[in-house]
Structure 1
Amino acid sequence: MMNKFVRSIALSALMGAFLFSGIAGAKEYEIATVVKITGIPWFNRLEDGVKKAAKDLNVKAYQVGPSDADPAQQIRIVEDLIAKGVDAICVVPNDANAMGPVLQKARDKGIVVITHESPNQPGADYDVEAIDNVEFGEMNFACLADAMGEKGDFAIFVGSLTVPLHNLWADIGLEYVKKNYPDMKLVTDRIPCGESAEESYKKTMELLKTYPNLKGIVGFGSLGPIGGARAMEKQKAKPGDMAIVGTVMPEHASRYLSRGLITKGFLWDPADPGYAMVAVAKEILEGREIKDGMELPMMTGPKAITLDGNIIKLNAILEITAENARELGF
């Protein structure tokens, strides 16, 4: 009896040691998210999603980015992460083409690459899109047209001339205007300033001097409409003097929406793609296939995806108005 008891104790100890060793040796994936620029409200909110995904999914996930929306700085950060040997890199590119070779380098070393706001990104395993980009582009310009009475001069702000999605929305919107609003006129080429409220303020002031009949601005880049609204505030404009629509953070834009200096905002909750990129990376790292209709864990519960090639689509367009801006909570 004693020998059986001793053997039982020994076997239990051995199994316990094996299980502990398995747990201790379990892989904690390191997933780095590289954004266009740090310290602005949009990417602060995206980081909320990254941090929540790290906690919920039991991975080491974090966010980094350049101090300016500079493609070269962003590429250097990705190079450093490759050298560090992270398991996955998630990127919101400043310049899709410039980023392509370094992302391919990461994939060649076995690193999973996920992008956001960069459909058809060279060097990416998958790209996560929170919205239907055609619908989003058309909604912004339809709102602008309505606020302008479907006629008059307008301008477009983008984050930069190399930001993929901003320029795609502009292309979609201009085609939409051409087909539907023949009395609307783009006064100048799209203006790169949407990642800086100060720069978009300056550009709006310049536009008002050069084009005194300007009636509208579409701002892509969450600080473009903010700078435009500040310029109209400086001009002591009244609601309706200038139609300003585009991507905005609700809390940031609420005071301008309530005063009629921003007409309406369109976006998605940036935390959702922050979370989704980390979730997709973990799925791939654990050998699971990304399938159309599968549900991803998200900030507010699972969401079904639409898979279009290697583009993962969510349907999460939000309209930001004076009435709901503060209620949205970010």
Structure 2
Amino acid sequence: MNKLMTALLGASLLSTPVYAQSAWTGSDDQPNSPLACTGESAAPEPGEYNGGTPTNAPDRKGKDITVVDIPKLVGVGYFASTAEGMQEAAKELGNITINTDGPTRANIDEQITFVDNYITSGVDGILFAANDPVAIAPVLKKALDAGINVVGYDADAEADARQWFVNQALPNGVAKSMMDQLVSEIGEDGSFAIVTSTFTTPNQARWIAEMQAYTEKCYPNLTFLETVEAQEDNILSFNQAQTLINKYGEELDGILGMTSVATPAAAEAVQQNGLCGKVAVVGLALPNAMKPYINGDCITSTILWNTVDLGYAAAQVMRQVADGSLQPGATSVEAGRLGELQIVNQSQVLLGAPKVFTKDDINDFDF
């Protein structure tokens, strides 16, 4: 962990406490589909296309195109690595220019403003990771109405507000990986709490809803204490983890981090409180951020997908959408070095299953 991060986390101990919020299980009015408790489950059939269509889009096949990437926020490692993958794809393809730009905090109003500004300035394509699936939909539909190609990744919008969404992992797959790993560390009758970004962040809401459903099905004796928000902010994430530690004491067996910021911040809180080996931290985070805690035997694992591959896949899909080679009804798409990726859930391109990184292999990865 760099000196600035250490200083911020240390200073946060002196700041005003952030109090835990009411329990929340990710309810988003969508049906849950928990996977089998043991063995593998088949991926869903693609289904009928439900994405949007740009109005009077010009012929872009094979032509140079300019694309803007607007993630939830800039300045964090997660989206820096997705942007890296996009640049790799752009260099490989040779006829797509991608510029990453966006808010410095996970704020949906600011993100909408960025999208709107690029519609006005004129681009061929917009890549996005939504802070709120409903709130961002009107401005994305405005982009489609302007003939702009729109592809999401990481966090989706309403389906008809974009053409395709590159899904890093199916929500029920994330849920199974997270809960199975947590149980392997705290047992089937342990107690845990969650640190997420916001209650409106679409991918995290869906993951948590599926985690709750999977827990009820496969680990009914687990105790789900509560979920707190931390805005994908380092200090706030640390403070929320500290609040959970103080509030629940020995009752708290594990913390689940739903963001690449929350998970290492929770690990830092566990380490600073001398609770290594007593409170497990399981969550989604970049391997590089978790190496100090895993290599130092404070934390056992971290879970993620290859974020560079996620950005790379999103850029490949955008190119094929612009070329007209990815059409509604497709069952797969060729994605450069990633090979053939499966179409699922009507208009989603599936990157693959999550990976659990441990001390055995985490040093083999550099992102």
Bin of the TM-score, shorter chain as denominator length = 0.7 to 0.9
Counterpart among 111, 115, 128 of residue 148 in structure 2? 111
CA–CA distance in structure 1, aligned partners of residues 289 and 117 of structure 2: 33
2:314 matched to which residue of 1? Answer: 277
Per-residue CA distance 1:36-55 (angstroms, 9 max, x = gap): 11111111111111111221
TM-score (norm 2): 0.78
Is 1:39 aligned to 2:75, yes or no? yes
TM-score (norm 1): 0.87
**Rg comparison, structure with higher value:** 1
Letter in 2 for 1:52: E
Compute the RMSD of aligned alpha carbons: 1.6
Using a 3 Å threshold, how does the CA distance of structure 1 residues 150 and 260 change in structure 2: closer, same or farther? farther
Contact 2:178 2:303 in 1 (8 A): yes
Alignment of 1:237-248 (within 5 A): 237-239=275-277, 241-248=278-285
Is 1:138 aligned to 2:158, yes or no? no
What SS class does the counterpart of residue 151 from structure 2 fall into? strand
Gaps (5+ residues) in structure 2? 1-61
Is 1:184 aligned to 2:222, yes or no? yes
Contact 1:194 1:222 in 2 (8 A): no
Alignment of 1:123-134 (within 5 A): 123-134=161-172
CA–CA distance in structure 2, aligned partners of residues 178 and 251 of structure 1: 33
2:332 matched to which residue of 1? Answer: 293
Per-residue CA distance 1:77-112 (angstroms, 9 max, x = gap): 000110011001010011111100000000001001
Per-residue CA distance 1:285-323 (angstroms, 9 max, x = gap): 1222342133211xx442332343111112142211122
CA–CA distance in structure 2, aligned partners of residues 324 and 139 of structure 1: 17
Deviating above 3 A after TM superposition, structure 1's stretches of 4 or more consecutive aligned residues are none
1:221 matched to which residue of 2? Answer: 259
Could you tell which deviates more after superposition, 312-321 or 69-78?
312-321
CA–CA distance in structure 2, aligned partners of residues 83 and 281 of structure 1: 20
Alignment of 1:289-328 (within 5 A): 289-290=326-327, 291-297=330-336, 300-328=337-365
Identify which of structures 1 and 2 has the higher relative contact order when contacts are C-alpha pairs closer than 8 Å and 6+ apart: 2
Q: How many percent identity over aligned positions?
A: 26
CA–CA distance in structure 1, aligned partners of residues 310 and 323 of structure 2: 20
What SS class does the counterpart of residue 192 from structure 2 fall into? strand
Letter in 1 for 2:108: P
2:213 matched to which residue of 1? Answer: 175
Per-residue CA distance 1:160-187 (angstroms, 9 max, x = gap): 1111111111111111112222322112
Letter in 1 for 2:340: K
Counterpart among 78, 88, 93 of residue 125 in structure 2? 88
Q: How many Å apart are 1:120 and its aligned residue?
A: 6.0
Higher helix fraction (1 or 2): 1
Counterpart among 168, 176, 201 of residue 163 in structure 1? 201
2:12 matched to which residue of 1? Answer: none
Contact 2:133 2:156 in 1 (8 A): no
Letter in 2 for 1:115: G
Could you tell which deviates more after superposition, 197-206 or 77-86?
197-206
Per-residue CA distance 1:203-246 (angstroms, 9 max, x = gap): 1111112111111111111111111111111112232x011101
Gaps (5+ residues) in structure 1? 1-25
CA–CA distance in structure 1, aligned partners of residues 75 and 313 of structure 2: 21
Contact 1:196 1:227 in 2 (8 A): no
Q: How many Å apart are 1:133 and its aligned residue?
A: 2.2
What SS class does the counterpart of residue 181 from structure 2 fall into? helix
2:186 matched to which residue of 1? Answer: 148
